[in-house]
C-alpha cells in the first residue's frame, strides 16, 4: 500500500513539498540537464532519483541518513526545472525538504565545524573580511588541515581588495528616468567591491537614482540554500525593515548577484504562515536583476569608441534556471559596438560553485569547474562575463588552473567599462 504524505506533518512548507512530489511523472526528461547525473551517472544523483528519495523519507519509508548523501550532492542549480515538462517545482521541494530535516540532522565534527564557519562568517562582511585575512595565515599550514577546511582556505584570494564605501544616495545623471533601491550583498562586497561600484555608476549614468538603505545586510539566500531557514528568516526580516524605511517609492529593488535575486524572489515562501508574508511577497515582487532592469529601461547611447572584443557569456544557474533570465544580459552586451558575443556549447551546466557547494562537495565542484573552464576556452573568447560572484570565483580559479588567458568580468563591469565609468 502506498503511503500518502501528510503535508500538515511537515510545517508551513508541507503543501509545497507535496505538490512538487505529486506532479513528478517520472519521465526522466530532467536527467540530461542535471550536472551531478552527468558527472556521477547514478539515478539517485538525478532529479528524479532525489524526488523519489525525498518522497520516501517524508512518508516514513526511508531513513533520512540513507537519502542524505544524494540530497547533499544536489547543487540546487535548478537545471532540472526548465527541463521538466510537468512543471515540477523542484526548487521549492529542495529548499523546504532541507529546512525540514536540518534540525534533526547529525553531522560529523568536521562537517559541523565547516558549516558553522560558513554560517557565522559568509553573511557578515566584517566577519568575513577578518576571517579571510586570518585565513591567509592558515594557508601556510594548509597541507595538514582536513579536506574541507583546506578547500575553504584555498578559495580565498591572496590579497583582498580595499573596501569601497558607497553613499546612501547616488543621484541620477541628467534627467531622472527611475529610482531604485540597491542590495549591496555580503560576500561580494569583500571579494569584489568594484562590482557594486560599477553597478551604481552604470545606473546613475543611465538616469537612475540609487538609494542604498542603511542597516541592510545579507539577503539570507546563502543560508536558505543549505537548510538554515531560521537564520535566513532573521536576515531577510532585517532587510524587510531596512528597505521598508526608504522615504518615497522605488521602481525596483536591484541586485547584481544571481543567487541573491533568486533567493529574494522566494521571500514569500520563506515567510509562509508568518505575519510578514504579505510584506515579503510585495518585496519579492519588486526584486529585479540589474540586467533585467536596464534591459527594460533601455540603455542611453553607448559610446561608439569601443575596442574589438570577443566575449563569452556564462549563464549563472540562479539567473538562467531559477529566474529565467537569459535574454536581458545578452541584449545589453549586444548593444556594445564592436563586441562579438559567443555562446558556450555545454547546455548551461552548472560551474560547480552553487553557493557553498565548492566548500561542501569539493570533488564534484572541481570536475564541474574544469568542464566549465574548457567550454569557455573552446569559444575562443578573450573575456567571459557572468552575473554571479560565486561563478566568478569558481570560473576564474579553473581558467587560471588550465592556463587560459581569459579575463573574467561581471556583466556590469564590462558595461561600465563601455560607458567609460572609472
Residues that bind ligand SF4 (CB under 6 A): 24-30, 33-36, 47-48, 50-51, 74-80, 84, 86, 88, 90
Phi, psi of 388 (to 5 degrees): -155, 130
CB of 36: closest distance to ligand SF4 in angstroms?
Answer: 5
The nearer residue to ligand SF4, 29 or 207, going by C-beta atoms, is: 29
Sheet holding 252-255, edge to edge: 169-170, 208-211, 178-182, 252-255, 287-289
CB of 159: closest distance to ligand SF4 in angstroms?
Answer: 33
The nearer residue to ligand SF4, 195 or 322, going by C-beta atoms, is: 322
CB of 79: closest distance to ligand SF4 in angstroms?
Answer: 4
The nearer residue to ligand SF4, 44 or 292, going by C-beta atoms, is: 44
CB of 300: closest distance to ligand SF4 in angstroms?
Answer: 38
CB of 361: closest distance to ligand SF4 in angstroms?
Answer: 10
Q: Is 42 left (phi over 0), alpha (psi -120 to 50) or beta?
A: beta
CA atoms of 238 and 262, how far apart (whole Å) = 18
CB of 46: closest distance to ligand SF4 in angstroms?
Answer: 6
CA atoms of 418 and 198, how far apart (whole Å) = 11
The nearer residue to ligand SF4, 76 or 329, going by C-beta atoms, is: 76
CB of 77: closest distance to ligand SF4 in angstroms?
Answer: 4
The nearer residue to ligand SF4, 45 or 209, going by C-beta atoms, is: 45
CB of 128: closest distance to ligand SF4 in angstroms?
Answer: 26
CB of 350: closest distance to ligand SF4 in angstroms?
Answer: 6
The three-state (H, E, C) secondary structure of the chain, written as one string: CCCCCCHHHHHHHHHHHHHHHHHCCCCCCCHHHCHHHHHHCCHHHCHHHHHHHHHHHHCCCCCHHHHHHHHHCCCCCCCHHHHCCCCCCHHHHHHHHHHHHHCCCCCCHHHHHHHHHHHHHCCCHHHHHHHHHHHHHHHHHHHHCCHHHHHHHHCCCCCCCCCCCCCCEECCCCCCCEEEEECCCCHHHHHCHHHHHHHHHHHHHCCEEEECCCCCCCCCHHHHCCCCHHHHHHHHHHHHHHHHCCCCCCCEEEECCHHHHHHHHCHHHHCCCCCCHHHHHHHHHHEEEHHHHHHHHCCCCCCCCCCCEEEEECCCHHHHHHHCCCHHHHHHHHCCCCEEEEECCCCCCCCCCCCCHHHHCHHHHHHHHHHHHHHHHHCCCCEEEECCHHHHHHHHHHHHHCCCCCEEEEHHHHHHHHCCCC
CA atoms of 184 and 253, how far apart (whole Å) = 11
The nearer residue to ligand SF4, 27 or 163, going by C-beta atoms, is: 27
The nearer residue to ligand SF4, 36 or 224, going by C-beta atoms, is: 36
The nearer residue to ligand SF4, 23 or 277, going by C-beta atoms, is: 23
CB of 48: closest distance to ligand SF4 in angstroms?
Answer: 4
The nearer residue to ligand SF4, 53 or 170, going by C-beta atoms, is: 53
The nearer residue to ligand SF4, 81 or 218, going by C-beta atoms, is: 81
Amino acid at each position: 500500500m502506498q503511503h500518502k504524505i501528510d503535508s500538515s506533518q511537515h510545517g508551513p512548507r508541507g503543501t509545497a513539498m507535496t505538490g512538487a512530489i505529486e506532479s513528478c511523472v517520472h519521465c526522466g526528461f530532467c536527467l540530461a540537464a542535471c550536472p551531478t547525473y552527468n558527472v556521477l551517472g547514478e539515478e539517485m544523483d538525478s532529479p528524479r532519483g532525489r524526488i523519489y528519495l525525498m518522497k520516501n523519507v517524508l512518508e516514513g519509508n526511508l531513513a533520512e541518513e540513507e537519502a542524505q548523501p544524494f540530497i547533499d550532492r544536489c547543487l540546487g542549480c535548478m537545471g532540472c526545472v526548465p527541463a521538466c515538462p510537468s512543471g515540477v517545482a523542484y526548487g521549492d521541494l529542495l529548499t523546504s525538504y532541507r529546512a525540514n530535516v536540518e534540525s534533526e540532522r547529525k553531522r560529523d565534527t568536521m562537517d559541523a565545524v565547516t558549516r558553522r564557519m560558513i554560517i557565522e562568517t559568509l553573511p557578515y562582511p566584517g566577519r568575513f573580511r577578518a576571517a579571510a585575512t586570518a585565513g591567509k595565515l592558515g594557508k601556510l599550514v594548509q597541507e595538514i588541515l582536513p579536506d574541507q577546511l583546506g578547500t575553504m582556505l584555498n578559495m580565498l584570494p591572496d590579497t583582498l581588495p580595499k573596501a569601497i564605501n558607497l553613499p546612501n544616495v547616488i543621484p541620477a545623471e541628467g534627467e531622472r528616468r527611475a529610482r531604485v533601491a540597491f542590495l549591496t550583498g555580503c560576500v561580494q562586497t569583500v571579494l569584489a567591491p568594484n562590482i557594486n561600484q560599477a553597478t551604481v555608476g552604470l545606473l546613475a549614468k543611465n538616469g537612475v537614482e540609487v538609494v542604498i538603505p542603511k542597516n541592510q545586510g545579507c539577503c539570507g539566500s546563502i543560508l536558505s540554500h543549505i537548510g538554515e531557514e531560521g537564520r535566513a528568516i532573521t536576515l531577510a526580516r532585517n532587510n524587510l525593515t531596512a528597505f521598508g524605511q526608504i522615504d518615497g517609492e522605488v521602481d525596483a529593488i536591484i541586485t547584481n548577484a544571481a543567487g541573491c535575486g533568486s533567493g529574494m524572489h522566494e521571500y514569500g515562501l520563506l515567510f509562509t504562515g508568518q505575519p510578514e508574508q504579505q510584506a515579503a511577497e510585495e518585496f519579492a515582487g519588486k526584486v529585479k536583476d540589474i540586467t533585467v532592469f536596464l534591459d527594460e529601461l533601455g540603455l542611453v547611447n553607448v559610446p561608439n569608441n569601443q575596442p574589438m572584443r570577443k566575449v563569452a557569456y556564462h549563464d549563472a544557474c540562479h539567473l538562467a534556471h531559477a529566474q529565467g533570465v537569459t535574454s536581458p544580459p545578452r541584449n545589453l552586451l549586444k548593444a556594445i559596438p564592436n563586441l562579438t558575443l559567443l555562446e558556450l556549447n555545454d547546455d548551461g551546466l552548472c560551474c560547480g560553485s552553487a553557493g557553498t557547494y565548492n566548500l561542501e562537495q569539493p570533488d564534484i565542484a572541481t570536475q564541474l569547474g574544469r568542464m566549465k573552464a574548457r567550454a569557455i576556452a573552446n569559444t575562443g573568447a578573450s573575456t567571459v562575463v557572468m552575473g554571479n560572484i560565486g561563478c566568478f570565483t569558481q570560473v576564474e580559479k579553473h581558467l587560471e588552473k588550465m592556463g587560459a588567458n581569459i579575463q573574467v568580468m561581471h556583466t556590469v563591469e564590462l558595461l561600465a567599462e563601455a560607458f567609460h565609468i572609472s
